[in-house]
Structure 1
Amino acid sequence: MTDEAVLNALREAARLSPENLPLRRHLADQLLASGNLSQAENEYQAALALSPGDHGIAIGLAETLVRQGKNEAALAALDPLLAMPEHPVRAGVLAAQAMLPANRMAAAHWYRYSVARDPSQADPELAHRLGIGQSSPPPPSSPSPSPAPAPAQPPSLIPTAHSPSVVPAPHAQPQAADGRYGSADVEPTAEVEHSPVTFADVAGMDTVKEALRMKLLLPTQQPELFAAYGKRAGGGVLLYGPPGAGKTHLARAAAGELGAAFVNVGLADILDMWTGSSERNLRATFAMARRNRPCVLFFDEVDALAARRSDMRQAHSRQIVNQFLAELDGVDEHANEGVLVLAATNAPWYIDSAFRRPGRFDQMVFVPPPDTVARAAMLSLMCRDKPQAKMDFDKVARATEGFVGADLKGLVDRAVEAKLHESIRAGRPIPLSTGDLMAAAKTMRPTAVREWLGTARNYVLHANESGAWDELLPWLRDLR
C-alpha cells in the first residue's frame, strides 16, 4: 500500500471515528512526516480539542506551524508548555525556531537552555542560523563532556498588547557567588524632585484639586482634626482621562502645593528583563518614597504595571501586579503614611479591579477636558511670561472647543513661532495678540478627546454594572 493510500485509509477511519484520540494523533503525525502540513495542522487542532493538556499534541501542532512560517501561532501553542518549570525540551527548541526571525537573542537563549538539558535535541543547522558554535552531541565512542549548567529558570515570552511581535522577556539573572540571583539591594532609578509648580499653576480642575487636598495637604496641615476621625495623610488616587488633559502636570502641582518630594516613576524605572528585578525595582521605589515623606509618588501610564491579571498569559507579569498591590498595602497600616500614590492612565478599564479596593487606589478622579472658562485660564497662564498686547482669551477659548492642555500648549507655541519670525524681520519684540492665537487655532484640530470619549462610551453603556464610570455620563451626552 502506498503512503497516500495509507493516509487515505487513516483519514477515512478518523472520519468514521472522530472521537478516537490515538487515531487522530497518529494521522496528524503521519501527515506531518509526509509534509502535508496544512492537513496535519487541522488534525493536531482536532486532537488537541479532544485532549487539551496533551504535551505531545501541542508540540506536534507547533512543529507544523513553525514549518509553515506561522511563528506567532506556534508560540501561542507552545506558551503553556514553556511556562512549566521543566518544559519539554523539544518545545524549547521549537520556540527558538519560531522566535529567530523576530528576536535572535531570545531565540539563542531558548536554544542554549534546552540543549543544555538534553544534548540529543541539538540542531546544528538551527545553531548555525543562531550564530552558536557546533551544538551537536559528540559521537557515542568519545567521552561526553558535561553539558553547560542550565539557567535556574528558563526564558519566557511576553506578548505585548500593542504589537503581535514577540519581545525578549525577563530571563533569570546571572547567579552571584552567594547563590542569589541579582542583588537584593536595588537602587531605584527614579529620582526625588521638588516641584516648583503649585495648584495656582493649574487652571480649573477644582474638583480634582480638592480631592488631592483632602488626601495629603489638609491631613498634614491639620493633623489633630484628621486624627480624631482616624484619617492619615497619604493613600492612593487614580487620575484618568483623555491624553494631554494635564494629569502629570496636576501630580507635580500636588507635590509643589504641599512642598513634598515628588518621584515621577516611568516604565523604564520598573520593568526589567531579568526575572524578579521588576518586583525589586517596585519595592525599592516605594522604599525611597517612604524615606522622603511627605512624598508624592507618581506612576504615569500605570495600566502597563497594573493590567488585569485575567488578561495576562505570563506568570511573571502577574507577579508584578501582585508586588504592586503588596506595596500599596504596606507591611503595616502605617507603612505608607505620608506617601500619596498618584497614578495616571488613559485606559482605566484595563486596570485590575483589585487596585480599586479601599486602601489602594480607592479614589478614581476623572481629569476632564477643560471647559471654556478653564481653557481661557490655561491660555492666560501659558502666555503670562510672553510679550503680549491686550488679549481676549475668552474669544480664543470659545474657538478651541475640544482642546486639552497639550493642544493649547501647541497652539501657543505655534503662535509664538509665527510672532518670532515677524519680530526678527522687524528687529524688535512684537507683542503677541489675540489675532495670533486665533490664526493658530484655525490651523489646528483637537487631538484625541472625541476618540477617547468614543472608547469610554462603550464601557459606560455596556460595562458599567458597578457604576464606576457614572462620572463620564455628562461628557457623553453631546457625543455623536
Structure 2
Amino acid sequence: MSEESALVRSLRGAVAAAPEDVPLRLHLAELLLEAGHHDAAITEVAVALQHAPGDEKARELMGRAMGAPAPASAPVQQTPAPVQQTPPVTPAAPVQEKPADARRGGFDWQAAEGEIRDVVPPRFVESPLRADGNDDPGDADAWEVDAPGTVRLADVGGMQDVKDRLEAAFLAPMRNPELRKLYGKSLRGGLLLYGPPGCGKTFIARAVAGELGAGFLSVSVNDVLDMWIGNSERNMHEIFATARRQAPCVVFLDELDALGGKRSRTQHSGMRNTVNQLLTELDGIDAQANEGVFVLAATNLPWDVDLALRRPGRLDRTLLVLPPDAPAREAILRYHLKDRPIENVDLAKLAKVTDGLSGADLAHVCESAAETALLDSARTGTVRMIGMKDLLGAAKAVVPSTEAWFSSARNVAMFANEGGTYDDLLAYLKKRRKL
C-alpha cells in the first residue's frame, strides 16, 4: 500500500475519533480529491458543511469535487495548471440556465444539493423539545372545546328547585339580551355549584351549556397544574384564551377547591400564583374580554374556596345541588335499568326506599342488583331477570355516600354561615332534621 493511502487511512481514523473537527475532515477530503475519489470527498465535505455552513474552504472543496470552475477572482486561476485540479464533471443542466441566486459565489448550490441529497441524511427529523422537556407546543388550541351538546335541563330528572334557580339567576338574563340591556344586567360573573359528591353537578353544567347553545370546556386540576415554574399560570391563561376565541363557551372548573383553594392555607407559591391567575382571567383584561364566556364551577368543599373567587363579578352566584328528589331518583333508576333484563320493577316504590342516596349511589344499586342476578344465572345455568328483590336488597346494603359530607357541612352551616352564604344548606338540614 502506498504512503499516501496509509495517510488517508490514518486521517479516516482521526476523523472518526473527532467527528466535529472541521479542519481535519477537510484535510482528509482534500487528500481524497487529489487521489481522484470524488464521491468520498463530497461526503466528507458535506459533513463538514453541516458543522460549519459558512466555511470558505469547505465550499471551495465542494466546488472542486463537483467539477465547478473556480471563482474568477481566486488566485488559483492565475496558475496555468493547478496540480490539484481534477477533470470537470459535466452538470445535468447548463449552469447558465440556473437562477442567479442558485449560483452564489460562482458555485451551483442547487446542483450540489441534488448530488448529496441521498448521501447526507437530514439534520433534524423531529421538532425540538421545549426547555421544560415537554414536546407539547403549548398553544391555546391544545384544549379541546366540546361542540354544543344536546343535553338540556329537561333531561335532568326532577330537581325542579335547582332548575328554577338556574333559570332565574343565570339562564333568563342570557336568553334575553334586550331585557338584559334594558335592566342593565351584566353577563359578567359565574355560577358556583356545590353540594355532596355524586349528585350531578357536572351533568347540570353540561345541561346549562346545552341550554345556552355554547361549547363546553371542562377543566380539572390535572389540566392546569405543572411541575415547571410558570406553566400552571400559562395553562390557566390559555384555557380562557381558547374559550374567548370559541365563544360562546362554558368553562367548567371542576373541583374548584383544588384549583382555587384559599391562598392563606397554601404554602407553595406556585399554587398561590395559579389562584392569582384565575382571578385575573375571571376579571378579564377589559370589560368586554369575557363576553360570551360563561364560567361554571363545582366543588364539594365551598368553604375551602378562596373568598376572592366569590367576589361580585367573579363566581358571585351560588347554587346548592342536593341528593336527587323522588322524581329525579326515578329518572336515574330508569336510565340505569333501561338496557338490563328486568321484570316487575316498581320504580316509584324503589325511588321511595332510596331516599337520601346520590346519583352515584343509585347507579351502584342497579349494578349490584345486576351482579346478583348474573351470579345466580351462572350457578344455576338458567338466565333469570333482575327483579324487585334484587334491587331492594342492593338498596338496603348501600350506605348513603352523602352522610360524611353532611356531617362536615352541618358545622359550617351552623357556625360559619357569614352573610347567609349557606342559608339553603341550613334550611335543608332543618327540613331533614339533620341538625
2:406 match: 453
Deviations 1:261-298, CA, capped at 9 Å, x for gaps: 11111111100111111111011001111122221111
Identity of aligned residues (%): 47
1:292 match: 246
Counterpart check, 1:395 vs 2:349: yes
2:203 match: 249
How far is 1:422 from its partner? Answer: 5.4
Counterparts of 1:207-356 in structure 2, within 5 Å, are 207-214=161-168, 217-233=171-187, 235-356=189-310
What is the CA–CA distance in structure 1 between the aligned matches of 2:164 and 2:386, rounded to whole Å?
Answer: 34
Q: Which amino acid aligns with 1:337?
A: E
How far is 1:378 from its partner? Answer: 2.3
295-304 vs 253-262, greater mean Cα deviation: 253-262
Of 125, 131, 146, which aligns to 1:193? 146
How far is 1:251 from its partner? Answer: 1.2
Residues 216 and 338, structure 1, Cα contact 8 Å, conserved in 2: no
How far is 1:363 from its partner? Answer: 0.5
Q: Which amino acid aligns with 2:223?
A: D
1:27 match: none
Residues 195 and 300, structure 2, Cα contact 8 Å, conserved in 1: yes
How far is 1:470 from its partner? Answer: 1.4
Residues 158 and 326, structure 2, Cα contact 8 Å, conserved in 1: no
How far is 1:198 from its partner? Answer: 2.4
> Unmatched 5+ residue regions in structure 1?
1-172
How far is 1:175 from its partner? Answer: 8.3
How far is 1:431 from its partner? Answer: 4.8
What is the CA–CA distance in structure 2 between the aligned matches of 1:319 and 1:381, rounded to whole Å?
Answer: 43
Secondary structure of 1:239's aligned partner = strand
Q: Which amino acid aligns with 2:412?
A: Y
What is the CA–CA distance in structure 2 between the aligned matches of 1:342 and 1:273, rounded to whole Å?
Answer: 26
How far is 1:463 from its partner? Answer: 1.5
What is the CA–CA distance in structure 2 between the aligned matches of 1:386 and 1:182, rounded to whole Å?
Answer: 45
1:99 match: none
Q: Which amino acid aligns with 1:450?
A: E
Deviations 1:452-472, CA, capped at 9 Å, x for gaps: 111111112222232211111
How far is 1:214 from its partner? Answer: 4.5
Counterparts of 1:88-107 in structure 2, within 5 Å, are none
Deviations 1:377-433, CA, capped at 9 Å, x for gaps: 322233334444343222112222321010001111222233445567899975543
> Unmatched 5+ residue regions in structure 2?
1-129
What is the CA–CA distance in structure 2 between the aligned matches of 1:391 and 1:354, rounded to whole Å?
Answer: 49
Q: Which amino acid aligns with 1:236?
A: G
1:376 match: 330
What is the CA–CA distance in structure 1 between the aligned matches of 2:175 and 2:413, rounded to whole Å?
Answer: 38
Q: Which amino acid aligns with 1:186?
A: D
How far is 1:434 from its partner? Answer: 2.8
How far is 1:336 from its partner? Answer: 1.6
351-360 vs 470-479, greater mean Cα deviation: 470-479
Distance 1:184 1:190, change over 3 A: closer
Q: Which amino acid aligns with 2:144?
A: E
What is the TM-score with the length of structure 1 in the denominator? 0.57
RMSD of Structure 2 on Structure 1 (CA):
2.9
Residues 182 and 277, structure 1, Cα contact 8 Å, conserved in 2: no
How far is 1:219 from its partner? Answer: 4.0
2:112 match: none
Alignment coverage as a number of residue pairs: 303
Deviations 1:219-265, CA, capped at 9 Å, x for gaps: 45432222212235563111111111111121122222333211111
Residues 201 and 381, structure 1, Cα contact 8 Å, conserved in 2: no
Q: Which amino acid aligns with 2:299?
A: T
How far is 1:309 from its partner? Answer: 1.4
Residues 279 and 320, structure 1, Cα contact 8 Å, conserved in 2: yes
2:428 match: 475
Secondary structure of 1:409's aligned partner = helix
Q: Which amino acid aligns with 1:446?
A: P
What is the CA–CA distance in structure 2 between the aligned matches of 1:389 and 1:234, rounded to whole Å?
Answer: 51
1:416 match: 370
Larger radius of gyration: 2
Q: Which amino acid aligns with 1:191?
A: E
Distance 1:207 1:401, change over 3 A: closer
Residues 184 and 280, structure 1, Cα contact 8 Å, conserved in 2: no
